[in-house]
Structure 1
Amino acid sequence: FHEGRPGGQRGRLVITLAILLLSFAIFIGRAVYLQAIQAPRMAQRAADRMRYTHDLLPDRGAITDRNGSALARSESAVLVFVDPQMISRNGVDERAEMSRSQQAKAAAAPKAVAKILAKHLGGYPEDYREALTKKDKSGRLSRYSIVKHQVPSYTFDQIKAEMKDGGWYGVFSSNDPVRSYPSGTLAASLIGFVNTEGRGSAGLEYSLDKKLTGTRGKESYEASTYGRIPLGHETLIPATNGNSYTLTLDAQLQLSVQNALEAQMHASKAESGQAIVMDVKTGEVLAMASAPGFDPKDYGKAKANQLRNHAIADNYEPGSVQKVITMAALADQGIVNADTHVVVPRTLPSGGSHIKDAFDHDTLHLTARGVIAKSSNIGTTLLTRQTDKSTLTKYLQAFNLGKPTGIELPGEATGSIPPASMADYTRDQVSFGQGMSVTAIQEAAAVAAVVNGGVYHQPRILKSGVDGNGETVEIPTGKAHRVISRRASSTVMDMMESVVTLTPDRQVPGYRTAGKTGTAERIDPSCHCYRGYTASYVTVGPVEDPRILTYVVINSPSKGSHQGSGIALPVGRQIMSVALPQFGVPPSRTKAPKKPLEYTP
C-alpha cells in the first residue's frame, strides 16, 4: 500500500493545479472581457450618467405699438429643474463609496431640498416629492425632472444660495422667460394672451404663435458634483428667438378709444361694443377696442364675452350706416347726385309689408343729401330701386362685404350678403342695412373706401417685424383696388357732411367732419327673432382731405337711448377730437356749407 501514495499525491497535485489554472484562466478571461469588450460600454454608461441634456428655450418675440411702446414682451425668468439621482447621493459620484457621514447627508437630502423649494416656490415640501424622486424608463432615478416654469431669476438666486449654504446639490435652472403685458388691458382682445404651456391662445399671440415662439435649442454637457467638467464633451444648438412685431396701433389713441367706449357701455348698460379708428389712405388700423375687455395677466377669470374681439368676430345688421355704401353705388352709376330729388311718402309697400322711417312724417320732398341727413329708409329704397339687384350685389362684393377682410387677426367672421337672385323686398332691406350682416372691420373698411376717393385698402394691423437676429421680416402690404370714381366719392362725402352739420353738437371743433348714424334691430340667436338694437356711428375727417375714420358700435343698450345718434355719435365725436390733432392733421380752413336737404316741388 505504501508504494501507491506518491502516485495519489501527484494526482491530487495535478487536480489542484488544474483547478488553479482553470480559475486563473477564468479570471484572465473575465478581465479580458471586462477590459476589451465591456470597458467601452461601461465607460459609456458612466459617461451617460454624467451627461446632462435639456432644451434651451428661445425668447418669445415682443409686440409693440407703432411708436415702440411694449404691448407684450418676454421678461427674464427660469425653469427650475432637479437631478433626482444627484440629490439621492447629495452629489457624491455613484462610482465612489460614501462614508457614513456622506450617507447620512444623502439620506437627508431629498427632504432638505424639498423644504428649500417649498420655501421659495410655494406650497409644501410634500408637493415636490414626485419631482425629486422621478424615475426614468429603466426604473433608475432620473437625471432631469422639471419643478416649475417661469420662476423669477432672483427667486432662483435665493434657492441657489440656500442650497450652497446647506451643502446640498442637484437643483438647476435654464432660461424660461415669462410673458408680460405692460399695458394691462390695453388692446387685450387684439393682442391675446399666452397660456400656461407657453402657447398663444387668442389674438395676435395665437395667429402669430409660431413666428413669435422661435425655435428651441438643445444643450448637452458632462458635469460632476462640482459643476461642468471643463474638458468634458459638450454639444450646443442655440435657440433662435422669435420674431418681434410693430403694430399700426397707437397706444395713446387706443387708451382714449377704450375709455370712451367703456364709459358709454357703462352708461347705456350695453351688452358689448366695438370701436375702430383707421387711416383711410393706407388701411392701417390705428385703434381697435372691444368691450367688455379683460386683463391678459389674469385671463382665466375672463368670460367668453370679454375674450371675444367683437370688432372682427361679431356679425350684425349695420343699419343706416350701410346707406353710405348704397349711395356710393348709385352715385358711381350716375343714378344720383347730392341734389337728386326724391318724393318720400309716409310709408312704402314692400314684400307684403310697409317700410317706414324712424320718424313719423307726411310726404317729404328731399334731396339725396336730405335722405342721408334725415336717414330716410323710404328715400333710400326708392333710389335703390333704380338699379338692378345683380349690380347692387357686385358693388357689395367690390366693397369686400360678405367675406373676411384678411386682417392679420384670428376669428374673423365673414358676414353675409344676399345673392343677385334676392327677392325685391330683400333688395329694399339691404339698401338701408337690413337683410345682410357685416363685421365692424368690414364696414369700417368699406366706408373708408367710399371717402378715400373710391379706393379700397385692405385693413392692416401689422406695420413691421424683425426676426430673432434683428433682420427685417417681410410684412405683406394690404391689397388696394378702386371701387367707385372720385366724383362718386365726393358726392357721398357731401351727403355725409350734412349729417354732421344738422346740429352743432355733432361737430368736432376746428375740423370739418362727415358721418352717418345707424340704428338696427338685432337678431337674437336664441329665438332667431329681432330683440334689442345695434347703435352705430361712422365719422371721417377732415372733409377737405379725408384721413381718419372712426366707427363706433354699441350692442344691445338697455338704458337711455338706443339710437346711433344718441349713444354712438358722442363717442365717435370724442374719439375724432383726439385722433385728428394727435396724428398731426391740420385744422380745416373753411367752414362747412349749409346745403339744401329739401326742395320745393
Structure 2
Amino acid sequence: MTFPSDGRSRNQRAGREDTSRRSAYQDESRRAARERELKRRKGIPESQGTTFRPTSPSQTGAQKRRVNAVTLIALVVAGVLIFRLGWVQIIWGPELSLNASEQRTRVYVDPARRGTITDREGNQLAYTMQARSLTVSPNVMRAELRTGTDLALRLAAEETDPANVASYVTIEEGVAYDRASGEEKETILNEKVKERMENIATRIPEIIKSHGKDVSDIRSSEILEKLNAESQYEVLVRNVDPDIATEITDELPSVAADHQDIREYPNGAIGENIVGRISMDGNGQFGFEASNDSLLAGNNGRSTQDMSILGQAIPGTLRDQIPAVDGASVELTLDLDLQTYVQQALEQAKAASGADDASAVVLDAKTAEVLAMANTGTINPNEDTAKQIEEGKSFDNPSITHPFEPGSVAKIITAAGVIQEGLTTPEEVLQVPGSIEMAGVTVKDAWEHGVVPYTTAGVFGKSSNVGTLMLAERLGEDKFAQYLDLFGLGQSTGIELPSESEGLLPAPEQWSGGTFANLPIGQGMSITTLQMAGIYQTLANGGERIEPRIIKSATDADGAVIEQAEPDKVQVVSPEAAKMTVDMFRAVTQSDPTGVQQGTGTGAAIDGYQISGKTGTAQKIDENTGAYSNSEYWITFAGIAPADDPRFVVAIMLDEPERGVHGEGGQTAAPLFKDIATWLLNRDNIPLSEVPEPIVLQAQ
C-alpha cells in the first residue's frame, strides 16, 4: 500500500480530526454550563429560555455554509448597488444634472429695439413699434381644466360666467357638480372646456374690433383650431397694441401677451428696394435691413432664474443679467421727396413706353451720395406680398443687381481717354466713313452715310460708332483697358447694399480679335445703372471717382456717432480733361433747326441750363440665335446737370420700350432725364447757366 507523501497514516489523520471535533464539542458544552450558572445567579429558572442542546459537528458545518452563502449574496448585492451608484454618478450624473438644470432654469430674453432708418432730412423710412402677440399653451390649458376639480371649473367660470362663480357649477338636470357621479363630472368638465375655447375664440376679435381696429384677417375659427391643437405653444394673433393685449389677458387669463416688435415702413413701396424688410423673426431679409442687420439689430439682453415645479420664481436665483443694447439709428443719403418723384416717374414711363422694366439712379456729383435709386415693380411691404409677387413685383433692387449692355452711353470712356492722353481735341475734324473694319470685324453707324467731316465733339454728339472706334485705335487696347479699370467697370462699387453685381467685363488676356471693336462703343460688356451713374459722376467731379454711398451717418443707442469708413477715391483723369469731356458732351443735347449741328439727345435739354449727357441703344442677345437682336433693346441715358457747375448725375435704363417715355414715337430715355433733372434744379433753386457758344459737330 502506498502512503501519502507527508508520511502520515490515514488513521493518524482521522484521529486528529476526531480530536478537533471533541475539542469543539467540549468548548460548546462549557459555554452552555456558564450560561446555566449565570441564570442561576440571577434567579432565572433553568427551564426558561433555550435549553442547551449540544450542536453536532455536522450541524456546525451547515451553519457556516449558510452564513457564507448569505455573506456572498450580501456582497454581490452590495457590489451591484455600488456599481449602480457609480454608474449613475459618473456616467448618468452629468446628463441628469443637466436635465435637472434645464427643467428648473429659465432664460429670459429682453429684445433689443431695432434702430430707425431715416432719409437725409430725418424722414422715417423704417422704425420699430412695440406690440404684443397673443399666445396660449393648448396642452397645458386643457390639462389644467380637465383635472376635474372645483378650482378648474371655477377658473373656467371666471371667463364663461363670472357673475355666478360662487355657485358654480350645475348641469342641466340640476345635479350639483359636487354630488355628480364621475361620468357626469367628466361631461360637465368637457362641456365647460369647450365653452371656454369658443369664448376665447369669439372674444379676442370682439375686443380688438371694439377699439376700432381692422379684424378682417382675424378669424374665430382659426383661433379655435389653434386652441384645440396638440402643441405647447400657439400664436393666436400677432401685432396687437399693448393696451388692447392687456385688456384681453385681463379678461381671458389663459391667454398670454408676448412681447413683439413691429417694423413699420410708412412709405410703402417708396424706397423699399433700398430699405428692404425684416423677416418674421426680426432678422434683416432684404435690402439695407439685410446688409446692415448687425448694425441695426443691436444685442438682446438676457437673464437667468430658477423656477419651482409650480412655475414660481425661486428667490435669490436671478443671475447672469445682461442688459439689452438697442440697435443703431441710420441716416441714409436718400432724399425721400426725390425718391418718391423718381419712382413714380419711372412707373409712368414704363406704362407709357411699354417697357418691361425701368431703373434710375441719381447721385450727388461731388460726393457720389445716392440721392435716389428707383426701379419699377417694387413691392409694398404693407400689403399682401404673396399677391404682389404673383403680379411680378419684388424686393429686388435691379439698379445694382441686374447688369445690362450700356450701348453708346459708355462712349464717354473712350472720349475721356483720348482727351486725357492728348490724342485729340473737341474741335479736331475727323473724316468718318460709314463703316470701319477692325480685326476682321466690320462695324457700321446706325445710319447710312459716306465720309463725313465730324469733329471729335460731333463724333459723340452724333453717336458715331465708326468715329468712336477711330479714336479708340489711337488710344490702343492696353490704354483703353486701363481706363475701363479706372472707371470701375467689372468691379463692385462698394455700395452698402446686398447682392450687388460687378457687371461683366472680359479680362484683357481674354480679348479676342473683335473685342476691341465692341467695348469702346458699349457692347460686349455689362454694367449696372449705379455703375453707369458712377462713370458720369467721375467726370462731373473733376475726374475723381468716388465710391457711391448710401449711409450718411449712424448713431448708437446712446447717441454717439459711429464712424463710417471713408469711400475709396481714384483720380481717373485730370480735372482739365474731365471738364473738357463734360463740356464736349453738351453736343449730345444741342438743337439745330437744320439738323446738321444737332445731337441725338435733344430731348434731355433744359431751357436755361447747360446739360451734358449721352444716349444709348444697346441690342439685346436673341436667345434663339445667340446673336444681337434687331428688335429688342436696352435704352439708356446718363447726364450731368448743370454741365457748367455739376450738381447732379442722373442715369436711366429702360428695358425693351416700344415707344418714348411719354408715349411719343421713337425709343429714348432722354425726356425722362429732363423730367428728373428739371425737378431737381427747380426744387433746389439752382442758378441758371451762362449761354454757351454753339458746338460744331460737323465741319462745313
Residue of 367, 372, 378 corresponding to 1:282? 367
Residue of 470, 494, 512 corresponding to 1:382? 470
Match of 2:430 in 1: 342
Match of 2:397, as an amino acid?
N
Match of 1:567, as an amino acid?
T
User: Which moved further from structure 2: 435-444 or 270-279?
Assistant: 435-444
TM-score of the pair, normalised by structure 1:
0.81
Match of 2:173 in 1: none
Structure index of larger Rg: 2
Is the 1:116–1:162 contact (alpha carbons within 8 Å) kept by the matching residues of 2? no
Match of 2:658 in 1: 558
Is the 2:357–2:654 contact (alpha carbons within 8 Å) kept by the matching residues of 1? yes
Match of 1:440 in 2: 529
Match of 2:680, as an amino acid?
A
1:470 counterpart SS class? coil
How far did 1:111 drift? 5.7
Match of 1:446, as an amino acid?
I
Whether 1:74 aligns to 2:174 is no
User: Which moved further from structure 2: 176-185 or 148-157?
Assistant: 148-157
Work out the CA distance in 2 between the residues paired with 1:249 and 1:147: 38
2:437 counterpart SS class? strand
Work out the CA distance in 1 between the residues paired with 2:362 and 2:665: 17
Work out the CA distance in 1 between the residues paired with 2:326 and 2:395: 28
Change in Cα spacing, 1:487 to 1:86, as seen in structure 2 (3 Å) is: same
How far did 1:584 drift? 4.8
Change in Cα spacing, 1:527 to 1:294, as seen in structure 2 (3 Å) is: farther
Work out the CA distance in 2 between the residues paired with 1:114 and 1:431: 73
Whether 1:470 aligns to 2:559 is yes
Match of 1:156 in 2: 245
Work out the CA distance in 2 between the residues paired with 1:526 and 1:209: 42
TM-score of the pair, normalised by structure 2:
0.71
How far did 1:153 drift? 2.4
Match of 1:428 in 2: 517
Work out the CA distance in 2 between the residues paired with 1:512 and 1:322: 20
Work out the CA distance in 1 between the residues paired with 2:407 and 2:103: 71
Match of 1:299, as an amino acid?
T
Is the 1:369–1:494 contact (alpha carbons within 8 Å) kept by the matching residues of 2? no
How far did 1:378 drift? 0.8
Whether 1:301 aligns to 2:387 is yes
Match of 1:56 in 2: 110
How far did 1:579 drift? 1.5
Work out the CA distance in 2 between the residues paired with 1:211 and 1:446: 30
How far did 1:78 drift? 1.6
Whether 1:511 aligns to 2:609 is yes
Match of 2:535, as an amino acid?
A
1:201 counterpart SS class? strand
2:616 counterpart SS class? strand
Work out the CA distance in 2 between the residues paired with 1:196 and 1:305: 20
Residue of 326, 332, 339 corresponding to 1:247? 332
How far did 1:266 drift? 0.6
Match of 2:474, as an amino acid?
Q
How far did 1:305 drift? 5.9
Change in Cα spacing, 1:578 to 1:542, as seen in structure 2 (3 Å) is: same
User: Which moved further from structure 2: 73-82 or 269-278?
Assistant: 73-82
Change in Cα spacing, 1:559 to 1:100, as seen in structure 2 (3 Å) is: closer
Work out the CA distance in 1 between the residues paired with 2:201 and 2:343: 42
Whether 1:493 aligns to 2:582 is yes
Change in Cα spacing, 1:496 to 1:376, as seen in structure 2 (3 Å) is: same
1:578 counterpart SS class? helix
How far did 1:57 drift? 2.0
Is the 1:84–1:170 contact (alpha carbons within 8 Å) kept by the matching residues of 2? no
Match of 1:217 in 2: 301
Q: What does 1:523-534 align with in structure 2 at a 5 Å threshold?
A: 523-524=621-622, 528-531=626-629, 532-534=632-634
Match of 2:184 in 1: none
How far did 1:285 drift? 0.6
Change in Cα spacing, 1:170 to 1:215, as seen in structure 2 (3 Å) is: farther
2:614 counterpart SS class? strand
Is the 1:249–1:285 contact (alpha carbons within 8 Å) kept by the matching residues of 2? yes
How far did 1:66 drift? 0.6
How far did 1:249 drift? 0.5
Residue of 570, 577, 594 corresponding to 2:671? 570
User: Which moved further from structure 2: 65-74 or 48-57?
Assistant: 48-57
Match of 2:501 in 1: 413
Q: What does 1:51-450 align with in structure 2 at a 5 Å threshold?
A: 53-82=107-136, 87=141, 102=154, 108=192, 112=196, 115-117=199-201, 119-120=204-205, 122-124=219-221, 125-129=223-227, 134=231, 147=236, 149-163=238-252, 169-219=253-303, 233-235=317-319, 236-297=321-382, 298-303=384-389, 306-421=394-509, 422-450=511-539
1:405 counterpart SS class? coil
Work out the CA distance in 1 between the residues paired with 2:650 and 2:151: 78
Is the 1:385–1:428 contact (alpha carbons within 8 Å) kept by the matching residues of 2? no
Figure out how many residues of one structure are paired with residues of the other and give that number. Answer: 545
Is the 2:417–2:475 contact (alpha carbons within 8 Å) kept by the matching residues of 1? no
Change in Cα spacing, 1:592 to 1:289, as seen in structure 2 (3 Å) is: same
Work out the CA distance in 2 between the residues paired with 1:369 and 1:190: 37
How far did 1:173 drift? 2.4
Work out the CA distance in 1 between the residues paired with 2:268 and 2:386: 15
1:594 counterpart SS class? coil
Change in Cα spacing, 1:75 to 1:226, as seen in structure 2 (3 Å) is: farther
Residue of 539, 542, 545 corresponding to 1:456? 545
How far did 1:224 drift? 10
How far did 1:281 drift? 0.8
Change in Cα spacing, 1:155 to 1:90, as seen in structure 2 (3 Å) is: farther
Identity of aligned residues (%): 31
Match of 2:270, as an amino acid?
L
Match of 1:475, as an amino acid?
Q
Change in Cα spacing, 1:103 to 1:149, as seen in structure 2 (3 Å) is: closer
Work out the CA distance in 2 between the residues paired with 1:374 and 1:388: 23
Change in Cα spacing, 1:348 to 1:99, as seen in structure 2 (3 Å) is: closer
Structure 2 gap segments, 5+ residues each: 1-44, 51-98, 158-188, 206-217, 593-601
Change in Cα spacing, 1:110 to 1:499, as seen in structure 2 (3 Å) is: same
Task: Write out per-residue CA displacement over residues 485-504 of structure 1, whole angstroms, 9 at most, x where no aligned residue.
Answer: 11211221122111122366
User: Which moved further from structure 2: 150-159 or 426-435?
Assistant: 150-159
Is the 2:432–2:467 contact (alpha carbons within 8 Å) kept by the matching residues of 1? yes
2:635 counterpart SS class? strand
Give the alignment's Cα RMSD to 1 decimal. 3.6
Change in Cα spacing, 1:54 to 1:534, as seen in structure 2 (3 Å) is: same
Is the 1:117–1:159 contact (alpha carbons within 8 Å) kept by the matching residues of 2? no
Task: Write out per-residue CA displacement over residues 541-593 of structure 1, whole angstroms, 9 at most, x where no aligned residue.
Answer: 222221211011101113468999843100001000112233453332x1122
2:653 counterpart SS class? strand
Change in Cα spacing, 1:234 to 1:433, as seen in structure 2 (3 Å) is: same
How far did 1:321 drift? 0.7
